[in-house]
Amino acid sequence: MDLVDINPWWVSSKVQEEYSSCEKRQLFFEMAKYVKDKQIVVLSGLRRTGKTVTLHHLISLLLEKNPKESILYFNFDLFDEPIDKILEKYSEKTKTDFKKEKIFVFFDEVQKHHNWENELKVLYDNYSNIKFFISGSSSLFIEKKTKESLAGRTYSFTMQPLSFEEYLSIKHIVFDKKRLSLYENELKKHLDHYLLIGGFPELVEEKDVGKISRYVKEMIIDKIVYLDIPKAFKIEEPGLLESIFSIVSNHPGMVSDYDSISNDLNRDRKTISNYFLYLEKAFLVKKLYNYSKNVLTNEKKMKRFYPTSTAFAFLFNAEHGRIIETAVNMHADFKFFSRMGEKEIDFIQVNQKQILPVEVKYQENVKIKELKELEKFLEKNKLKKGIVITKNLEKKENFLEYIPLWKWLLSN
């Protein structure tokens, strides 16, 4: 592969239009703060959420104040080669001495290169002039190896599917966040389509439901289940992976444990546990724990599983209420739910020891008797606020704040 083909700015002084014309993700602006720091910038996340585009936006930023030959991009999804060989070819092409001159190196899908973490460690420790940016679609390989071999040498970021606000920005829908109610009718028009495409940037303008479904299945799920995960973990049954994922996507928020699932699928518990881990680390599934102040107790209790995008829930024909729960889960860093007997609270947000229970009631009218468990949780934990996410109802009553979904997505 000719490096010039994937580094066209060496000639044109700018990145390809397919990248430069794309809207910048909000995460770009956070990552941009660290382009001058020595530490390696690590970007991981679900396939097709914009990692490669964001790397090219960072390249565009660097081109403003740095020589165009000082920036190298390489994608291990296209070709694999030892990192030192890549740098040598780079030096030959650009006549740049990578051992002495200040350069910026971008490695995309780096987890597909064997021993990447140790090769990067040697270069990081020996050449302070090289600034590395790396991306990957498997958090297990990225997290585990950066912690083991690159401890103290990285800043890590995770690319999520588009938020509702980012979706509206790409659609060029203008609104004032301080006066959201003025734009209610316009903003609500776009909610259903946003939920359908599940936050994938390339689908923002797509209206054909069949094409959306095919894209989600073939470009994301199949590639992760049948290519990415088997290559990374040498698994023997990718079909079992898809079965587990389809169960979660058809029943978002399912409460279960590995024993019951292993019995249902006639597989041993360890296999099921491992396969769930692979799906989590490939950003397809998110796990929540039954809330307890005892961390060890959390791990042993029943768990709740959600697909990471509403598009997955739509594809596998989940109930609409469960799709709404998936949307809520997408937009906050929930790690817990609460279940005592048959009574549940959908989400518990814990942030710096502050606890916020969130219940989803996506309906026109919400009766107070439907919120008894939420009130009990507030009382038991001596809390002064709980959130109820509704379809249209908006009010504050006692310790409860009722917020319509569309507004919560934009204000959370």
H-type alpha helices, 150-183? 164-170
Residue 98 in contact with residue 87, Cβ under 8 Å?
Answer: yes
| 318 three-state secondary structure | coil
The span from the CA of 323 to the CA of 180, in Å, is 24
Structure-token pair, residue 190: 């776009």
The span from the CA of 356 to the CA of 263, in Å, is 35
Structure-token pair, residue 271: 């296999």
Q: Look at residues 57, 150, 56 and name the one whose alpha carbon lies nearest to residue 108.
A: 56
Residue 308 in contact with residue 190, Cβ under 8 Å?
Answer: no
Q: Look at residues 77, 79, 110 and name the one whose alpha carbon lies nearest to residue 1.
A: 79
Q: What is the pLDDT along the chain (412 residues), one digit of tens a residue?
A: 689 999 999 999 999 999 999 999 999 999 999 999 999 999 999 999 999 999 999 999 999 999 999 999 999 988 899 999 999 999 999 999 999 999 999 999 998 898 999 999 999 999 999 999 999 987 766 887 888 889 999 999 999 999 999 999 999 999 999 999 999 999 999 999 999 999 999 999 999 999 999 999 999 999 999 998 998 888 989 999 999 999 999 999 998 888 889 999 999 999 999 999 999 999 999 999 999 877 545 555 689 999 999 999 999 999 999 999 999 999 999 999 999 877 899 999 998 779 999 999 999 899 999 999 999 999 999 999 999 999 999 999 999 999 999 999 998 6
pLDDT at 295: 54
Residues recorded for the chain: 412
How many Cβ atoms from other residues are within 10 Å of residue 69's Cβ? 17
Number of helices (H) and strands (E) in the chain: give both, helices first.
21, 14
CATH number corresponding to 3-159? 3.40.50.300
Q: Give the sign of the dihedral formed by CA 338, CA 344, CA 408, CA 281.
A: positive
CATH 1.10.10.10 segments of the chain: 165-411
Q: DSSP character for 217?
A: I
362's CB contacts (< 8 A; 6+ apart) are 320, 321, 324, 389, 390, 391, 405
Q: Give the sign of the dihedral formed by CA 247, CA 252, CA 258, CA 261.
A: negative
Name the pTM for this structure. Answer: 0.95
The span from the CA of 254 to the CA of 250, in Å, is 9
* Best CATH choice for the domain 165-411 from the list 3.30.360.10, 1.10.3720.10, 3.40.630.30, 1.10.10.10: 1.10.10.10
CA angle 370, 374, 379 (to 5 degrees): 135
The span from the CA of 291 to the CA of 262, in Å, is 23
CATH 3.40.50.300 segments of the chain: 3-159
Q: Look at residues 150, 384, 203, 188 and name the one whose alpha carbon lies nearest to residue 311.
A: 203
